[in-house]
Amino acid sequence: MAQHKLILDGDYGIDDSIAALYLCRRSDVEILAVGSVHGNATAAAAARNAISVLDLGGRPDVPVAVGAGRPMAQAVSISSMVHGDDGLGGVAPSPPPDREPVPTPAAVQLIETVRSHPGECTVVATGPLTNLALAVLLDPDVPSLVAKVVIMGGTVDHPGNVGPYAEANIAHDPEAAQLVLGADWPVTQVGLDVTMPTWLGPAELARVEASTTPTGRFVWGILQHYLAFYAARHGRHGCPVHDPSAALVALDPSLAQWFEAPVDVELRSLRNRGMLVIDRRELAASERTEERPPVKIVIALDSRRLIDILLDGLLGD
């Protein structure tokens, strides 16, 4: 029996797809449902990519729902510079002709899945948090029925990747992130502080390049655009492991160290919109002006072990 019942929600770009492929290959993981969201690609393209990846990962029966096509309170912006026009570096495969997204919106699918498995589901969110926020708005009981939520998003001390302080998934929909980080469910935040140093360098990439399996060839193919982007931005060969880090922490929290604090999202500042505001003060509960639940903020990862687990899982037979 699967040890982990997961609902995946993401913007199925390059690293979301690698995370999903890894999860597909774990026999102790049941993927109950997948939702797509705007971000790295349009929500429609992200759903197509998710379908292709689930097919390649041997999970063609997992329902994929198209989610929010735009953020709650700002214009949509698609990160094609990082992930290519199709979200998969220009080499997105066509999904199998008989596979379509389900007609239900992703937020509704999330609610229905959680309600059919009360207390059992872990939500792994690797894109903007619009669908999760919509689910909370539509069904305020949902947070109490979820085992935990693990998000890739935000940063504490590491510089932002879409501005001095903001990380892309939060900046793509700050209002949604504010709702999700304030809802009463156990959230683990895996952000740039730990995903940037979890870096696939030349030795790890050589392992991927040498792989002859269909999964290995696919991963190597979609990584090319990502590697070109990071080479141009950071001047070195390699790329960070963003979304797979969140997926792996969801399965094995012993990979991570964290502290707990309430987290707000800056919504008003012109320069810092989307920045996480972590309240690290030692305040008594009675001194806090607003009740926000503590979030587990990951500050260290066993990156070496995480990358080994990821590559062994992805590249094995």
Active site residues: 242
Of 21-29, 165-173, 261-269, 307-315: span binding ligand BDR (CB under 6 A): 165-173
Residue facing ligand BDR at closest CB distance: 168
Answer yes or no whether residue 242 interacts with ligand BDR by CB under 6 A: yes
Is 152 one of the binding residues for ligand BDR (CB under 6 A)? yes
Q: How many residues bind ligand BDR (CB under 6 A)?
A: 15
**Region binding ligand BDR by CB under 6 A among candidate stretches 9-17, 20-28, 49-57, 251-259:** 9-17
Number of residues in the chain: 317
| 241 interface partner picked from Ca ion, ligand BDR, none, CB below 5 to 8 A per type | none
Q: What is the C-alpha to C-alpha distance for residues 247 and 57, in angstroms, rounded to an integer?
A: 15
Q: Which stretch binds ligand BDR (CB under 6 A): 43-51, 134-142, 161-169, 305-313?
A: 161-169
Strands 239-240 and 256-261: unpaired
Q: How far is CA 286 from CA 72, 181, 262, 289, 290, in A?
A: 32, 20, 14, 8, 10
Between 162 and 205, name the residue whose CB sits nearer to ligand BDR: 162
Nearest to Ca ion of 18, 262 (CB atom): 18
71/103 Cα distance (integer angstroms): 20
> What phi, psi does 250 have (nearest 5°)?
-60, -40
Whether 25 contacts 313, CB under 8 Å = yes
Q: CB of 282: closest distance to Ca ion in angstroms?
A: 34
> Mapping DSSP to helix (H, G, I), strand (E, B) and coil, where does residue 181 land?
helix
Among residues 9, 14, 16, 134, the one that binds Ca ion under rule CB under 5 A? 16
**What are the tokens at 82?**
């990082």
Please state the closest distance from residue 241 (CB atom) to Ca ion, in A. Answer: 12
Please state, as a whole number, how many other Cβ atoms lie within 10 Å of the Cβ of residue 208: 18
From 40, 49, 188, 215, residue interacting with ligand BDR (rule: CB under 6 A): 40
Q: Minimum distance between the CB of residue 64 and ligand BDR, rounded to whole angstroms?
A: 17
Q: Which of residues 170-229 bind ligand BDR (CB under 6 A)?
A: none
Instruction: Verify binding: residue 243, ligand BDR, rule CB under 6 A.
Output: yes
Question: How much of the chain is helix, strand and coil, in % rounded to 5?
Answer: 40, 15, 40
Taking CB under 6 A as the criterion, the residue among 6, 7, 8, 13 binding ligand BDR is: 13
- H helices within 57-158, ranges in order? 80-83, 106-116, 130-138, 142-145
49 versus 126: smaller Cβ distance to ligand BDR: 126
**Residue 122 identity:** T
**Residue 126 within binding range of Ca ion, rule CB under 5 A:** yes
Q: With contact defined as beta carbons under 8 Å apart, do 150 and 125 qualify? A: yes
Q: Does 79 bind ligand BDR (CB under 6 A)?
A: yes
HSE, CB side, 13 Å, CA atoms: give it for residue 251: 24
Strand pairing category for 199-200 and 263-265:
unpaired
Binder of residue 193, out of Ca ion, ligand BDR, none (CB less than 5 to 8 A by kind):
none
Binding residues (CB under 5 A) for Ca ion: these are 11, 16, 126-127, 243
